[in-house]
Amino acid sequence: MVENRSGAGGSIGAEAIAHSPADGYTIGMATVSTHGTNPATSARIGYDPLRDFSPITNLAAVPNVLAVHPSVKANDLPGFLALLRSQPGKFSYASSGTGGIGHMMGELFLSASHTTMVHIPYRGAGPAINDVIAGQVPVLFDNLPSSIEHIRSGRLRALAVAAPARLDALPAIPTFAQSGLPEVNDQAWYGLVAPARVPPEIIRRVHDATIKVLATDEVVKRFHQQGAAPAGNTPEQFAAQIVAEYAKWKKVVAERGIRLD
C-alpha cells in the first residue's frame, strides 16, 4: 500500500518514516531533497538523515533539468545566461519547494553562473510545472521524470540536463557540463529506507528482492523512458552515498548563506 505524504520537499513523508515502528513493514523513499538539501537548510526538520533511517538501496540515478517557458528568448544555456546577465533580477524560477532539490539546484546554478533570479517555491513539482507551463513563472528547476512529457510536447523548453552524458530520451539537450557549468551536473537519486533499528536480516531481505526487480526488462525499459538509470547498491554503499550528499549540500548552504529558520 502506497501512502503519499507530500509537502516540504518530501520531508513530511521522510519524518513519518523516521518515526514509524522498526518492524520492516514501513518503507519510505529517500531522495536528495529528504536526505540532503532539506536537512542541510533547516535545523528544525523532524529527523536526522544519518541516524534515523536504515538505508536499503538506491533505486535509480535521475537527471535534473533546467527548463523554461517557450516565450523565454533563449534556445540554449549560453543564450539563457546572456539573457540573465543583460536583465539582472528580472527572472524568477519555480521549484517543488523551499529546501528541495529544485531550489538548491537553482542556488547552485546561480552561484556557478554568477547570475540572479528570484526563487518561487511550490508545494510539489506538479503545481510548479503547471505555473511555468501557464507562463506565470518563466523558469523551472526539476527532476526530469516529472517534466519530460511536457518537454517532449513543447510546453516546456529544456536548456540543459544534469547527467553524465546526453540522454537517449532527450538526445538534443546537452548536459550542464557540456554547456560550461560542470558544477551543476550532478544527478538526483531515489532510494529505499526503513526506520532506524530495523533488524539487518529484514533490510537484507528487502534489498535482495528489490535488486531482482531492478534487473527486470520492464523496469529497466520504464526507467530509460524517463531518462533515469537503475542503480541498486548495497545498504552500506547507500548509507555512504547519503552521508556524501548531506555533506555536499551543507557546504552549498554555508557558501550561499541559506537559512530557512
Chain segment 175-199, per-residue pLDDT in tens: 999 999 999 999 999 999 999 999 9
d(CA 18, CA 9): 16
Q: What is the pLDDT of residue 224?
A: 86
pLDDT at 170 over 90: yes
pLDDT at 261 over 60: no
Q: Cell 554555508 belongs to which residue?
A: 254
Share of the chain above pLDDT 70, in %: 98
pLDDT at 259 over 70: no
Give me the domains of the chain, ranges plus CATH numbers. 8-61+187-256 (3.40.190.150), 64-184 (3.40.190.10)
Q: What is the pLDDT of residue 147?
A: 94
Query: What does the pLDDT look like over 17-56, one tens digit per residue?
Result: 999 999 999 999 999 989 998 899 887 889 999 999 999 9
Angle at CA of residue 80, ends 140 and 109, nearest 5°: 55
Q: What is the pLDDT of residue 176?
A: 97
Share of the chain above pLDDT 90, in %: 75
Share the mean pLDDT of the chain: 92
Q: Which residues are 195's β-sheet partners?
A: 53
d(CA 36, CA 40): 6
Q: What is the pLDDT of residue 199?
A: 96
d(CA 249, CA 104): 8
Residue 188, Cα to own-chain centre: how many angstroms?
A: 5
User: What integer is the mean pLDDT of 149-159?
Assistant: 97
Q: What is the pLDDT of residue 5?
A: 81
CA distances from 195 to 26, 41, 119 (A): 8, 22, 33
Per-residue cell: 227: 531518462
- Under 8 Å CB-to-CB from 237, ≥6 apart: which residues? 58
pLDDT at 6 over 80: no
Q: What is the pLDDT of residue 260?
A: 63
User: What integer is the mean pLDDT of 80-101?
Assistant: 92
User: What integer is the mean pLDDT of 135-141?
Assistant: 97
pLDDT at 253 over 90: no
CA distances from 158 to 142, 144, 152 (A): 11, 10, 9
- 197-204 long-range contacts (CB < 8 A, ≥24 apart) are 197/22, 197/54, 198/22, 198/23, 198/24, 198/54, 199/22, 199/24, 202/24, 203/24, 203/54, 203/56, 203/235, 204/235
Higher-scoring residue by pLDDT: 245, 226: 245
CB 151 within 8 A of CB 158: yes
